[in-house]
Amino acid sequence: DVKVTQSSRYLVKRTGEKVFLECVQDMDHENMFWYRQDPGLGLRLIYFSYDVKMKEKGDIPEGYSVSREKKERFSLILESASTNQTSMYLCASRTGGESNQPQHFGDGTRLSIL
Amino acid sequence: AQKITQTQPGMFVQEKEAVTLDCTYDTSDPSYGLFWYKQPSSGEMIFLIYQGSYDQQNATEGRYSLNFQKARKSANLVISASQLGDSAMYFCAMRGRNSGNTPLVFGKGTRLSVIA
């Protein structure tokens, strides 16, 4: 079974802090994704990566950056946390090439910015 | 750009009855894939079923089936014989160009409540 592990289930930080959300997958997947989920808005794509050191902006990249130094790890960084970044953050990974394969998700991180 | 529309914010169904969750999509890509996920209150996203745009038959996985109507651009999820454990958020998603590197685009979800 594919395992996507997010470093924290719950996280509380203060405004202005630099926040790191870590995600690790164990299936040698090429593609990794970060979404945020808010009530009534569904899942919105922040950033994704299709290879080591490669990154692409999603629909809502403002206020975020990412890092992918190793294939198995994809980090989301909040450069200066703000209260409107309080949300559920979901990491996903997926193999490349095979079109019918789903994205596999971690359990999510509920982030509160005070 | 792809867009997914789920018009039912919430649905109720009696245990053991069937329920249909609606999903319509918009894309200009000739080849695409459609996915359904379940999210229980614990938060994890569970993949349920996949339908490719060129698949001749509607997808089925156990109690889940997909009513795929390509001309209408709809991909409704049918859950047969509902169980209490089916209470969850359900998300429809699509991948355009049906390429492995393309991220999924999600709808806003439908919250299903199964009543005993």
Amino acid making up residue A44? R
- pLDDT per residue over B47-93, tens digit each? 999 999 999 899 999 999 999 999 999 999 999 999 999 999 999 99
Considering only CB atoms, which chain B residues are within 8 Å of A104?
Answer: 47
B50 contacts A102? CB cut-off 8 A: yes
Query: What is the torsion angle, in degrees rounded to the nearest 10, for the CA atoms of residue A107, residue A6, residue A62 and residue B9?
Result: 0
**Would you tell me how many other CB atoms lie within 10 Å of the CB of residue A25?**
22
Inform me whether the pLDDT recorded for B101 exceeds 80.
no
Residue of B43, B104, B109 with shortest CB distance to A107: B43
The answer to whether B102 touches B95, Cβ cutoff 8 Å, is: yes
Please tell me the distance in Å from A104's CA to the nearest CA on chain B.
8
**Confidence at residue B97, expressed as pLDDT on a 0 to 100 scale:** 65
B99 contacts A95? CB cut-off 8 A: no
Per-residue pLDDT of chain A (114 residues; tens, 9 = 90+): 779 999 999 999 999 999 999 999 999 999 999 999 999 899 999 999 999 999 999 999 999 999 999 999 999 999 999 999 999 999 999 987 767 889 999 999 999 999
Considering only CB atoms, which chain A residues are within 8 Å of B95?
Answer: 99
